[in-house]
Structure formats: C-alpha cells, structure tokens
Amino acid sequence: MNPILQSALGSVLRWLLMLVVPVLIKYGIWTQTDATKYVEAAVVAILALGWSLWAKYKDRIKFLTALMPGPTTENQVDAHIAAGQTPALNTPTDTIPQQKPATP
C-alpha cells in the first residue's frame, strides 16, 4: 500500500476511534495509557482487514473475467479488466459470467 495513503487512512481511523475513547475512559473501562495502545492496534487491524478485502475483491474480478467464454490468456484477462469489461461480482456460481459492454 502507498505509504502516504496508509498514513492518511491511519490518521482518519485514529481520529474516528478517538471519538469513542473519552466515553470508555469516563466509565473506567480503559485508562489513558490503554486507550492509546488499543487505538493504535485497532487502526493496524482495520487497515489490514481493508487491504485484505480489497485484494479479495480484485482477485474475484480477475477470476470472473477469466471465466469468460473461449480460451483467454492472462494478458487478455488483464486487458479486459483495464478496459472495464468485467462481469458483475454478484454473478451466481452456477451462471456463466457475462462481460459488461465496453465503456467509451
């Protein structure tokens, strides 16, 4: 992941999580030291989960595009994806994926 993007996302996530922290500290659930550790750990976990989901999404697109009728090479599959000619991600497993029309 791009380090600048990772840093920016981390900052936004820390800010969002810090909105909840005062409530947890007020009721004695966390101490100030605990809050800092937990927020940092949560940010790393959320970024890792997001990156994993994005990778699975891209893999699914490539898989469904590769299932298009007729023999295709990996380069052809990549070209279809780059051109936006991918089947819908919600294609049922018992249906042959249909290619979306090319976008002008």
Query: Model confidence over 38-86: pLDDT tens digits?
Result: 888 888 888 888 888 888 888 888 888 777 777 778 888 888 788 877 7
Instruction: Check residue 39 and give its pLDDT.
Output: 83
Instruction: Check residue 99 and give its pLDDT.
Output: 65
Cα–Cα distances in Å, from 44 out to 13, 24, 51, 65, 103? Answer: 9, 20, 11, 32, 37
Confidence of residue 102 (pLDDT cuts 50, 70, 90): low
In the chain, pLDDT over 70 holds for what percent of residues? 91
Instruction: Taking each helix axis as running N to C, give the angle between helix 3-18 and helix 32-66, from 0 to 180 degrees, rounded to the nearest 10.
Output: 130
Q: Mean pLDDT highest for which of 2-11, 26-35, 81-90?
A: 26-35
The answer to whether the beta carbons of residues 18 and 32 sit under 8 Å apart is: no
What is the distance of C-alpha 47 from the center of its chain?
9
Q: Give the mean pLDDT of 22-43.
A: 85
- pTM flag (> 0.75): no
